Amino acid sequence: MVGNVLLLLACVAILHAAFSTYEHLSQLKALGRPEGALPTDIVIEAIVALALGTLGSVLRTDELREITWRSEMKKRPLEDIDPRLSFSVFAARAGLLPAQPTPEKS
């Protein structure tokens, strides 16, 4: 719940920072000075929005699961484990290939 609220606040803050940037640049353009740095309050607002978004997404994620081999084998019964995982059988493909013609002696 807290993560969702922080993400919502971050989205509103980043949209407000973008709108403030647009307004500031359009005001500079109207004055005939298209160059100029952004005011520090807009930059700080964007950085705070980034921090809020990061914190909100971290709080919103689920708990991490253990992915070790031991934890995976705790979930599976012994009958499901195949001891020959690294071996492949290619004998079934042998019948699908056409036979090579033998050269005839003349």
pLDDT in tens, 32-43: 887 878 899 999
- pLDDT greater than 80 at residue 59: yes
Q: How far is CA 49 from the centre of its chain?
A: 20
- Amino acid, single-letter form, for residue 85: L
- pLDDT greater than 60 at residue 9: yes
Tokens of 82: 């195949």
Instruction: Identify the residue whose tokens are 């992915």.
Output: 67
Segments making up each domain of the chain, as ranges: 2-60
Tokens of 4: 């969702």
φ/ψ of 6, rounded to 5, equals: -65, -40
Give the whole-angstrom CA distance, residue 74 versus residue 60: 28
